[in-house]
Amino acid sequence: MLGFNSDDFIPFLVFSIPIIAIVGGITAGIVKTLGRQRLIELAQQERIAAIQRGVDVSKLPPLPSIGLDEDDLLGLAGPERDRRRAQGLLIAGIITLSISGGLIAFFTLIEPGNNTWAVGIIPGAAGFALLISSWIVHPKGSLPGAGAPPPAR
C-alpha cells in the first residue's frame, strides 16, 4: 500500500501553485476576450435592428472596438482613466506592503532565531514598486479626489 510521504508532497505543492496561477490567468484572459466579443456582437445586432426599423445611422452610437480596455468601455477620458489606474496601483501597493509586513511579523514570531523573516522583503519590494508606479501614473496638476473642473462662464 502506498503511504503518504510529506517530503514528496511539499515540492508538488510548491510547483502547483504557480502553474494554477498561470492557467487561471490565461483562462481569465480568454473569458474576458469572449465577453468583449459577445458585447460587440450584441451591439451589431442592436444596430442592425435599429436600421431595419428606419433609425438614422448617424444617430446611433458607435460600435465598441475589441482592442479597448475596461476604462475605454466605461467611457472614461484620459485624466480620469489615469486617476483610476493610479488608484488601482495605490491599492495594490498598500495591500502588497501589508502582506509583506504580515509575513515578516509571522516569520519573526514563529522562528525568532532564523532569518526567515527575509521572505517578506520580496513582496515588500513589489508593493513599494506599485506605490511608485501609482505616483508616476497619477495625472499631474490635479488633486487626488478632485472631479471635473467647473464649467467656464
Q: What is the pTM of this model?
A: 0.49
Q: What is the DSSP letter of 150?
A: P
Distance CA 131, CA 134 (A): 5
Alpha-carbon Rg of the chain, whole angstroms? 24
Q: How many CB atoms lie within 10 A of CB 84?
A: 15
Distance CA 87, CA 98 (A): 17
Give tens-digit pLDDT for 86-120. 888 899 999 999 999 998 888 888 887 888 888 88
DSSP SS3 for 140: coil
